[in-house]
Structure 1
């Protein structure tokens, strides 16, 4: 007979269970007894809502946002409390311990790491953990089943509060905060992980811990930049800001040849280093023109301030470009309408429509403040886009997000304050290519197209160029040495040391997890 540890089921937060489930579960024990059999029996005993490969909803529940990936989890559970999460984690440790565990918050991981990035993972879906509380000191407790759009609405509804986070309303705050959490207000208020004051987390032995600067401080350091390797965060306590009453959403668009496009990126790069105030969230966007030798690019973003102050701020950038923009749009919004505008779907309320999906490949390249792109690298980028960008059978974009520069809290925060290691990053390229209809299959040449686009820059920089990558834009094609260096730099050995304390057997693992 197999006896499950009674401690698995003694939490007062668990729903009432039959006495049978607190004692023995009977079935034959053989040498071939599989861990997934023990897992499923344990989960069934716990009363936690569980979807298995035999469930009618399994095919839908196991879909990745990025349909380029298909994985078959061992099971998907939908806990209603932190205690439920702890029980599910303990269930995964039964048997030989070979079942990996992964948290899914919003499910938007570029590499489908919320599904484990591999078959056979226990997926702990946090979508039922929806509580948000705004406290009298203007901090907020946010459970990690919340999406960014719903977070923004709840914060504003409770005292017109706000925080910096990404623009996509459907991204889950759990993973977003764990790897970085960049948004257009981040240069003024920080990455999401910089706004976190404490976290409630379930570690690999099923213990529920609080982590902060004063409690389990090593774990707290690691969670802010590499959380999926260390535990399942069920709640963050974050600082909030007073929502700015005036927000300027802007775009200036150019259609030019590669030579002028190179001048525009050079202007963006110089302005970003020395002239952009922290209130300015600035992006350089490049999209297909479908006309050989023509590049379509835009300055876009949000300025938190008055229209007059924005005009003074942006004027040096616009005047530094030799040609005038073909189109421009500068509109003043209140806080929530500005987020709706940038979100692109007409609402922040994720209950009003289903989430979308995509079939894509993406790469990230973080340009250091002290080693910006050379003229030859910039020109090579646009020469490539002016030719290959027209003939590719993908729908692509390139986005350069301003992270650092003068006055940015991201870069002013000390390098060793968190596990996030790209504090020296001035701006981050996101290279992104989808199938034309956003559905599978992904084009055969799509990965080569994007890799060659990426190397058009890197091959024209010095051989010792120390660039990075933004961990939230996971690239599963990177080698171990590449992602360890580009995501974590000199923090990786420290993370390994902390990992040996909190996740020694590698229960929380996926293809780019920290390893002991």
Structure 2
């Protein structure tokens, strides 16, 4: 499959004219230019056509069109992927951004979310009913991308992953058929959707289990100078032992504005009162931060607390690894020095980069076996990530090489062994939403990779959706 002449998209426009679907071409000015923007500039590509459907029927029509004309395409949800899988050059984008509806059923405590919704849409609507669902930590990310890859959030320690609270998905398959997948309908497809869903179709709606969340929460950042790093790590080691699942501690090595000086930045969360939160984190607060911005806030505002510095613009790349606690403070100090040394090189202008230790309690996560769903990152460890931001295309390869090398060192230093037997027993040790498509299937899906390949051939035998070339061992150009 490949690209097509611009004229052929007039045929698609005609087919969709009665569906309220927008069909944008490069000559359509600002609406088109806005449609190809992405969170990361290195993922921005000039598509030949951007289709913005408002219904599953419009998506079915579009899939029939791309199959008939052998046109490559991708699907865009929130536009946050840094792998480039949500953009394409000279071909077609199915952009779900007009499908952002959120419907709350307070009686059943369930929430139906359309495929193009952002977490801010969900957080704000759910709050009207005193409810919340497990979501991300930055609210302008898409619900679809985070959920289909697993979904860690502030409520994970209490309720598990987003996919653990997913009740069903409404999906348009490669054939154009519209189906509902759940534990009782298309159960094998539902198994695949929870962890590898980008490979099987276009999800037009998710239905989640919601949880009561009427009270505000204790949350916010503490910022420490580098000389306090050892004490911060010592508290993180203690956090691992004392959390009851209602707390989160995120440690980021960064050079935030305005000073652009190296710091250890922590983001704290306690699902409870001010007094409880301050008591739980007292030993960390007593270390002496240079800035303490913790306090009470509505849960609906929590996922916006880390938005600063995560706005659109610049080139970005995520990389993923894992770590176990307790950590040796001297090992973290070495990682701190190496990361800061790389990100503060004047020529490269990478001061907005982060090395992130996500201490999100995993007890609830590992209650679900890795074979229960396609997602295979359940183990007694935490996620580690790099989020590197840069501006010059000539630095792309340098960034990628540095990120991989640092994460490998970090995972080894933190006691996570990249051994197949360990991965099979304890989880793969890498979060699929943080890795690029060239990472082997065994490293992302572990022993689930074989079953996923079989299901791929069942539900998408022609590989129309190619969000993950690991599942089909042959050259493909279609990307989702």
**Coarse TM-score class (shorter-chain normalised):** 0.7 to 0.9
> For residues 416 and 247 of structure 2, what CA distance do their matches in structure 1 show?
33
2:387 is matched with: 432
Alpha-carbon shift at residue 42 of structure 1 (Å): 4.0
Alignment partner, residue 403 of structure 1: 360
User: Which whole-Å deviations, capped at 9, do the CAs of 1:150-169 have from their partners, x for residues lacking one?
Assistant: 11111112x22111211322
Separation of aligned partners in 1, 2:406 and 2:171: 39
CA distance in 2, matches of 1:230, 1:80: 20
Q: CA deviation at 1:308?
A: 2.8
Aligned pair 1:251/2:221, yes or no?
yes
Q: Take 1:132 and 1:217, find their aligned partners in 2: how far apart are those partners?
A: 24
Which of these residues, 265, 268, 277, is aligned with residue 298 of structure 1? 265
Using a 3 Å threshold, how does the CA distance of structure 1 residues 463 and 471 change in structure 2: closer, same or farther?
A: closer
Check the 8 A contact 1:244/1:305 in 2, yes or no: no
DSSP-derived class of the 1:300 partner: strand
Structure 1's 175 and 265: CA in aligned 2 closer, same or farther, altered over 3 A?
same
Contact 1:434–1:442, Cα closer than 8 Å, also in 2:
no
- Does the residue aligned with 1:198 lie in a helix, a strand or coil? strand
Kindly tell me: are residues 139 and 423 of structure 1, through their superposed partners in 2, closer, same or farther at Cα, counting changes over 3 Å? Answer: same
Q: 1:449-492: CA deviations, max 9, x gaps? A: 4344334425657795346322222435xx342xx233222221
Match of 1:180 among 139, 150, 156: 150
Q: Distance in 1 between matches of 2:300 and 2:4?
A: 51
Give the whole-Å Cα distance in 2 for the aligned partners of 1:54 and 1:383. Answer: 48
1:113-192 pair list within 5 angstroms:
113-115=85-87, 118-135=88-105, 136-157=107-128, 159-192=129-162
Distance 1:510 1:130, change over 3 A: closer
Preserved CA contact (<8 Å) 1:102 1:228: no
Conserved? CA contact 2:78–2:141, under 8 Å? yes
Contact 1:480-1:512 within 8 A present in 2 as well: no
Secondary structure of 1:89's counterpart equals: helix
TM-score by length of 1: 0.78
Q: Which runs of 5+ in 2 are unaligned?
A: 420-427, 474-480
Q: After the TM superposition, which residues 212-361 of structure 1 pair with which residues of structure 2 at under 5 Å, given as runs? A: 212-257=182-227, 261-262=229-230, 264-265=232-233, 267-268=235-236, 270-288=237-255, 296-315=263-282, 323-344=287-308, 356-361=312-317
1:384 aligns with 2:351: no
Match of 2:22 in 1: 49
> Which sections of structure 1, spanning at least 5 residues, go unmatched?
1-31, 347-354
Q: Does residue 94 in structure 1 map to residue 68 in structure 2?
A: yes
Q: CA deviation at 1:91?
A: 1.2
- Residue 67 of structure 1: CA displacement? 0.6
Contact 1:273–1:426 under 8 Å retained in 2: no
What number of residue pairs does the alignment pair up?
A: 452
Kept in 2, the 8 Å contact 1:179–1:420? The answer is: yes
Give the CA deviation at 1:272. Answer: 4.6
- Residue pair 2:243, 2:361 contacting (<8 A) in 1 also: no
Aligned to 1:71: 45
Contact between 1:404 and 1:411, CA under 8 Å: does it hold in 2? no
State the secondary structure of the residue aligned to 1:489.
helix
Distance 1:52 1:380 in 2: 50
- Larger of the two Rg values belongs to structure: 1
> Over aligned residue pairs, what C-alpha RMSD do you find?
3.2
- C-alpha deviations, 1:160-209, integer Å up to 9, x for none? 21112113222121212111222222211222222210110000000000
Query: 2:320 — aligned with what?
Result: 364
What SS is found at the alignment partner of 1:168? coil
Q: Supply the distance in 1 between the matched residues of 2:211 and 2:467 (Cα, whole angstroms).
A: 35
Taking the aligned partners of 1:447 and 1:475, their CA distance within structure 2 comes to 10
1:495 aligns with 2:452: yes
Distance in 2 between the 1:105 and 1:54 partners? 23
Hey, what does 2:418 align to over in structure 1?
A: 465
Under a length normalisation based on structure 2, what TM-score does the superposition of the two structures give? 0.84
State the shift of 1:130 in Å: 2.6
Q: What secondary structure, in the 3-state scheme, does the structure 2 residue paired with 1:364 have?
A: strand
Tell me how far 1:509 sits from its aligned partner. Answer: 1.2
